[in-house]
Amino acid sequence: MLRTQSRSVDAAASKPRSLLRDMRGAAAIELALTLPVFLALAIGTLKFGVAMSQYLTLNNAAAQGAMAFALSRGTTTPYATTTTAITSAAPNLASGSVTKTLRVSGTACTTDSACQTALVAGATASVTVSYPCDLTVLGVSFKSNCTLSSTAAQMIQ
Amino acid sequence: MKHSIFSALRSLRDFWRHQQAGSTLVMAASVMSGVVAVAGLSIDVGRAYAAKRALGGQTQAAALAGAYALAQANSTSGTVSTAVSNWTSANPVSGVTISGTPTPTLSCNASTSGLPTCSGTNPNVVSFTQSGTVPTYFLKAVGVSSMTVSATASAAKAGGTIKPFNIMFVLDATGSMSSTDSGCTVPGISSPSRWQCALYSIQSILKVMPTAQDGTALMIFPGLSSQYSPGSGCSTSSEPGSAHYYATTVKYQIGTTFDNTYNDGSGNLSTSSPMVRAVGIFKTSSSTSPCLTNKGGQGSYAAEVITKAQATLAATTNNATNVIIFLSDGDYNATQTNLSGQSSKVANQCAQAVTAAQTATAAGTQVFSVAYGASTSSSSSCGSDSPTHISACTTMQTIASSSSKFYSTDSICSSTNAFSSLPSVFQAISSALTSQTKPRLLTQ
C-alpha cells in the first residue's frame, strides 16, 4: 500500500505536465467554486423575498392602522383599537416584534386616554409600523440592525 | 454549405467532448446571469408592488380628506380640491413620482344605501385617481427605467344614516325641576323653570331629527298612576296623578309607542304628534302648551324607570340603535313609602340607578346622561348611598355609557361636554347621534 502510493507520487513528480492534464475531480473543484456563489444567491433571494413580503404586509398594516386610528375619534379606546387593527392586518408577523407608533399631527400618543384627547377632527393621524428584518446570507449581514418601517396617514374624521 | 454546418457542429461537439475543463464555470456564469436577472426583476417588481400599495393607501386617505372637506358647510369643488392637494403634498408616497396634477371629481351616488342625500349640485362622493412612476434598478439594463403605478379611491361624505335610532327620553319630573334655570332662554317664557327648559330642549331636538329614520318615546319619573296619551284637548287636569315607584299600576311611558310624526321635515313640529303634544311647542307667540307637568310628590328614584326604558327599547323589533337620553339632577332619595314599601330598594338608590344604566349599556343601548344641576358633594346628595358614598354628579357620570356620552350644564359637575345651557346640550347630543356616521370608502 505504502509502496504503491510512493510510486505514484514519484511518477507524478517525474511527470508534472501529466498532473496538469489530469482531469479527474475537475468537476468537483468547479462545483466547490460555484456552489457558494449559487448558494449565496439562492439564500439571498429567499431572504430578500421574505423581507419584501414582510414589507408589503407592513405597508398594508400601517394603512389599516391609520384608517382605524382616524375613525376612532369619539371612542374611549383609540389606541387599543388601532393597535389591534395593525396586529390583525399583519397575521404573518410576530406581533411582539411589531413596533407601533401612533401620532396625531406629529405628536405621539401611547395610551387610550392621551390619544382620545389628541384626536381632533381634521387633524392628521399617522401610524408608523416597524419590524426587524434579517438580511444575513451565509454569515454575512448585508444590513446590520435592519428594520422595515412603513408610515401611513389619514385625516381624522 | 451543408457540409460546413456539419463540420462546425462536429468541432463544437469535439470541443465539449475533449475540453471539459472549465465547462461548469462557463455554465455557471451563463446561468448566474439569468438568476441575477430574475432576482433583479423580482426586486424591481416587488418595489413597484410596495409602492402601489402605499399609493393606494395614500389615495384612499386623500379621498377621505376630500370627503371631510365636502361635508363642511359651504363646500365647493374648489375647497375639496384644495383639501385633497394639501393632503397629498403633506403626505407624499416615498419612491413614487406622481404624474401631472391629479384633481378629485365630485359625483352624486344615489344607488348606495345609507349615504347622505345628493343631487347634481349637491354631490356626496369624492373620487380621486392618481398615477405615478417608480424608478427601477435592474430593469434599466433592458431599457425599462421606471414602472407606472396607479390607484383610485372613492369616499362618501359623512352624514348619512346607516342605522335608525330608537330614542327614549327619560325626564326627571320631580318637584325640584320647578326651580328657575337662569342660564336657560326659552322663547315666550321669561325666567323658565328647569322643567320648561328640559321640554324646550326636547322640542329643539325633535325639530331636526329625521322622522323617516328615528322613533322617539318619552318616560318621566315619578310615573303616572294610569296610562297617559295626551291628545289635542289636553289640560293639566287630564294628566293622571303620580304613582309610587314599583306600584303595580305605575306607567312611566307617555303614550305607548315610538312616535315618528314629530316634525314635517322642514324644521316645524307637528301638533298632531303625541310626543309634541306631551312636550309642547314653545315659541315667541302662539305657543302650544305642553300636556305634561312635573307632578313630583314621590321623592326621586331612577333605577326602575331606567330598567323600564331599557325593557321598552329591547322590545322593539326594527333593528335600530337604541338610545336613552336621561336627564336628571342625579340625587335619588325616595322613602320606603314612595317605593311601595320595598325595603330592599331604600338603600343605595344612586348605585341602583347606575347599575340599571350599566345593564342597559351592556345590552347595547347608548345611554346619554345629562347632569342638570347635579351636586358634586357626596355628603349632601345621594343620602341613601352607604357605605359607598357617591355624589349626584358621579352618579350621572357613571350612568352614561361612556365619558363622551356624559353631558352637563354647569362647571361644578364638569364633563368633557359641559355647556352653558340645556338646549345647547341637547343640540350637542343630536349632532353626536348624527355624526356617528363617518365618511366611508366606496367600491369603484
Domain containing A32 equals 27-155
In a domain, A5, yes or no: no
Q: Which long-range contacts (CB under 8 A, 24 or more apart) does B357-363 make?
A: B357/B306, B357/B324, B357/B326, B357/B398, B357/B399, B357/B400, B357/B401, B358/B398, B359/B307, B359/B310, B360/B306, B360/B307, B360/B309, B360/B310, B360/B313, B360/B324, B361/B401, B363/B310, B363/B314
For residue A76, list chain B residues with Cβ-Cβ distance below 8 A.
402-404
If we measure between CA atoms, which residue out of B418, B422, B309 comes closest to residue B366? B309
pLDDT, tens digit, for every residue of B327-342? 998 899 899 999 999 8
Helices (H) and strands (E) in chain A — how many of each?
A: 5, 6
Q: What is the mean pLDDT of residues B206-231?
A: 85
Between chains, do B91 and A153 touch, taking CB under 8 Å as contact? Answer: yes
CA distance B245 to chain A (A): 35
Q: Is the pLDDT of residue B63 over 70?
A: yes
Domain count within chain A = 1
Model confidence at A3, in pLDDT bands (50, 70, 90)? very low
If we measure between CA atoms, which residue out of B33, B258, B67 comes closest to residue B160? B67
Q: What is the mean pLDDT of residues A30-42?
A: 84
Hey, of B45, B91, B441, which one would you mutate to test binding to chain A, going by the most A CBs within 10 A of its CB? B91
CA distance B40 to chain A (A): 9
Contact assessment for residue B213 and residue B224, using Cβ atoms and an 8 Å cutoff = no
Q: Can you read off the three cell numbers belonging to residue B220?
A: 318621566
Chain B stretch 378-397, residues whose beta carbon is closer than 8 A to a beta carbon of chain A = none
Q: Is the pLDDT of residue A8 over 70?
A: no
Write the residue in A56, A62, A121 that is nearest to B49 by C-beta. A56
Q: Which of the residue ranges B86-90, B213-217, B251-255 would you say has the lowest mean pLDDT?
A: B213-217
For residue B61, list chain A residues with Cβ-Cβ distance below 8 A.
66-67, 70, 152-155
Provide the CB-side half-sphere exposure for B63 (13 A, CA): 29
- Residue in chain A lying closest to B39 (CA): A45
In a domain, A149, yes or no: yes
| DSSP annotation string for B286-307 | S-B--S------S----HHHHH
For residue B402, list chain A residues with Cβ-Cβ distance below 8 A.
75-76
Q: Can you read off the three cell numbers belonging to residue B135?
A: 424608478
In a domain, A84, yes or no: yes
Judge whether B87 is closer than 8 Å to chain A, CB to CB.
yes
Q: Is the pLDDT of residue B77 over 80?
A: yes
Query: 10 Å Cβ neighbour count for B14?
Result: 10
pLDDT for the residue B51? 92
pLDDT, tens digit, for every residue of B2-14? 566 677 667 656 6
Q: What is the mean pLDDT of residues B380-392?
A: 88
ipTM: 0.76
Q: Is the pLDDT of residue B414 over 50?
A: yes
In a domain, A103, yes or no: yes
pLDDT, tens digit, for every residue of B230-285? 877 777 678 888 899 999 989 999 988 888 888 887 778 888 888 898 899 998 88
Say if residue A91 is preceded by a cis peptide, omega within 30 of 0.
no
Judge whether B19 is closer than 8 Å to chain A, CB to CB.
no
Between chains, do A27 and B24 touch, taking CB under 8 Å as contact? Answer: yes
Question: CA dist A70 to A23, A74, B121, Å?
Answer: 71, 10, 29
If we measure between CA atoms, which residue out of B203, B257, B251, B255 comes closest to residue B231? B255
d(CA B263, CA B4): 101
- Residue in chain A lying closest to B64 (CA): A155
Write the residue in B28, B64, B403 that is nearest to A157 by C-beta. B64
Between chains, do A59 and B20 touch, taking CB under 8 Å as contact? Answer: no
Question: Phi first, then psi: what are they for A55, rounded to 5°?
Answer: -65, -40
In a domain, A83, yes or no: yes
In a domain, A9, yes or no: no
Between chains, do A60 and B28 touch, taking CB under 8 Å as contact? Answer: no
Task: Give exposure, B376-389, as e/b (b: 16+ Cβ within 10 Å).
Answer: bebeebbebbeeee
Between chains, do A155 and B61 touch, taking CB under 8 Å as contact? Answer: yes
Q: Which are the contacts of A113, defined by CB distance < 8 A and separation ≥ 6?
A: none
Model confidence at B218, in pLDDT bands (50, 70, 90)? very high
Predicted TM-score (pTM) of the model is 0.57
Hey, of B44, B68, B94, B416, which one would you mutate to test binding to chain A, going by the most A CBs within 10 A of its CB? B68
**Alpha helices (H) along A15-149:** 16-21, 26-71, 78-89, 112-118
Contact assessment for residue B367 and residue B324, using Cβ atoms and an 8 Å cutoff = yes
pLDDT for the residue A4? 46
SS3 B152: strand
In a domain, A11, yes or no: no
Mean pLDDT of all residues belonging to chain A: 83
Between chains, do B61 and A44 touch, taking CB under 8 Å as contact? Answer: no
Between chains, do A33 and B25 touch, taking CB under 8 Å as contact? Answer: yes
Structural domains of chain B, with CATH: 25-156 (no CATH), 165-441 (3.40.50.410)
CA distance A124 to chain B (A): 9
Q: Which of the residue ranges B93-102, B415-424, B430-439 would you say has the lowest mean pLDDT?
A: B430-439
CA distance B438 to chain A (A): 7
Q: What is the mean pLDDT of residues A133-157?
A: 86
Q: Between B194-208 and B422-434, two packed helices, what is the crossing angle to 10 degrees?
A: 30
Judge whether A153 is closer than 8 Å to chain B, CB to CB.
yes
Question: Phi first, then psi: what are they for B80, rounded to 5°?
Answer: -70, -45
Q: What is the mean pLDDT of residues B422-433?
A: 81
Contact assessment for residue B324 and residue B353, using Cβ atoms and an 8 Å cutoff = no
In a domain, A144, yes or no: yes
- Residue in chain B lying closest to A121 (CA): B68
The H or E element containing residue A104 is strand A99-104
